[in-house]
Amino acid sequence: MDILGIETSCDETAAAIVRDGREVVSNVVYTQIPLHRPYGGVVPEIASRAHVEKIGEVVREAVSGPVDAVAVTYGPGLSPALLVGLNAAKGLARALGVPLFGINHIEAHLHTPFLFDSGDGEAARVPFPEDAVPALGLAISGGHTAWIDMPAYGVYSIIGQTLDDAAGEAFDKAAKLLGLGYPGGPVVDKIAREYLAGSGSSGLVPFPKGRPREGVSALAGLPAELCVSFSGLKTALLRHVQREGGAEAIAAAGETPRLVASYQEAIVQSVAERTRTALRRSRYRSLVVGGGVSLNSRLRTVLAEVADEAGVRLLMAKPRYCGDNGAMIAGLAFFRRETAPNAAALDVCPGLEVGK
C-alpha cells in the first residue's frame, strides 16, 4: 500500500510516498529556514504563504505512481500552515478517489526510527513497530519535549513533558542570545562538540538541570520527576551573559564555546535523567526517539548510554528523518489506517494532544 504523506505544520513543506508504513519510496522536503532566519524564528504568515507556493511542486516531485491513500498532519502546529497541507490533501484524496487519514505530528516523529529507504538493502536492520513495543517514546523537537508511554503500537499517553520551552526552543533562544544565528540547535551542537573534544567536560559552567518542583500546578497531574522546565536554564544563561558584559565580550574572551557546551550539557543531562527515570518505572523493550533535537550528537551519545544501562534497545531515526518530513506522516498512517480520523470532514487542530 503506497501512502502519500503531506506535512506543513511548521516551516517545512514536505511530501513523501511510503510503502506499507516503512519503505520510503520518495521523500521531498522544502525547508523555509532561510525565509525565517532574518526574524530569528518562524513567522506564521510567511510560513503559510511559502507552503502555498511550494506544496504543488513538492507533491508532484514526490509522486511517481499510483497512490492508495493520502495522509496529512492536522495538528499540532501553526494553524495557517496546517491549513495549507490539509486543504491540499483533501483536494488530492477527492481527485484520486482514495481515503484521507489525519495524523498527529508528534506521534509521527516517533515513527521515524521504523523508516528505511527503498532499495538501500537496510530493511532487515530496521525493526517492525510491533516488535518495538512496549516502548518509551521521547519526542524532542522545536515545539515539543515529551516522554510518551507506548504500550502497543499506535497507543500513546504522555507521562512527562516540558512545562515551558521545548528543548529545541531552548537551543534556539540561547543561540539568539549569543548571536549565533537561527536555528540554534545545529550551531550549538557543532560548537559544543568541538569544545568537548578539545577540553572535555570538567570545566563546564554548572547550569540548572530544569527539575520542576513537586506539586506546581503546571505539572497538570504529571510526576515532577518526569517533567522538565527550561525557563530557569534560559534565565541562568541570560544572567551569566549580563554578568560577563554581554555576548560580544564573551565572544571576544573566547568563552562562547565553553558556555555553549555547558548549556547544551544541562539540556542533555536533564533529558537523560528523566529518560532514565521513565525507563525504570515500567518494563520497556525499546526507547524510541524522534524530532529535530534528536540530531544532537551529544544527546545521541548520552541516550545510547542510558538505553544500554536500562537494557532497552535505542531506536533513533537516521538524520534525514529527524526533522519534519512527509515520510513519518505516511508511514504512521499505514499502521493507524483503522483508527486515524478519516480526514474528509477533518479540521486543523493546532493544539492536538498526543493519544487523542
Q: Tell the smallest beta-carbon distance from residue 291 to Zn ion (Å).
A: 6
Closer residue to ligand KG4 in complex, CB, 99/186: 186
Q: Note whether 13 and 79 are within 8 A (CB).
A: no
Residue 256, all three cell numbers: 562562547
C-beta of residue 242 within 8 angstroms of C-beta of residue 178: no
Q: Considering only the stretches 55-63, 136-144, 226-234, 336-344, report the one whose residues sit in contact with ligand KG4 under the rule CB under 6 A.
A: 136-144
Tell me how far apart the alpha carbons of residues 131 and 136 are, in angstroms, rounded to a whole number.
Answer: 13
* Residue 141 touches ligand KG4, criterion: CB under 6 A: yes
Supply the DSSP symbol for 342: B
Q: In this chain, which of 141, 262, 275, 294 binds Zn ion, going by CB under 5 A?
A: 141
Binding mask 182-221 for ligand KG4 (x = CB under 6 A): -xxxx--x--------------------------------
Residue 5 engages ligand KG4 in binding (rule: CB under 6 A): no
In this structure, what C-alpha cell is assigned to residue 168? 529545541
**Which CB atom, from 2 or from 11, has the smaller least distance to ligand KG4?**
11
* Residue 239: burial class (beta carbons within 10 Å; 0-12, 13-18, 19+): exposed
- Residue 324 sits in the site that holds ligand KG4 (CB under 6 A): yes
| Three-state secondary structure call for residue 100 | strand
For ligand KG4, what does the binding mask look like between residues 110 and 129, x meaning CB under 6 A? --------------------
C-alpha cell read off for 181:
544565528
Smaller CB distance to Zn ion: residue 257 or 323?
Answer: 323
Strand partners, 104: 75
Of the candidate residues 137, 210, 292, 326, the single one contacting ligand KG4 (CB under 6 A): 292
- The answer to whether residues 141 and 207 touch, using CB atoms and an 8 Å cutoff, is no
CB 321, min distance to ligand KG4, A:
10
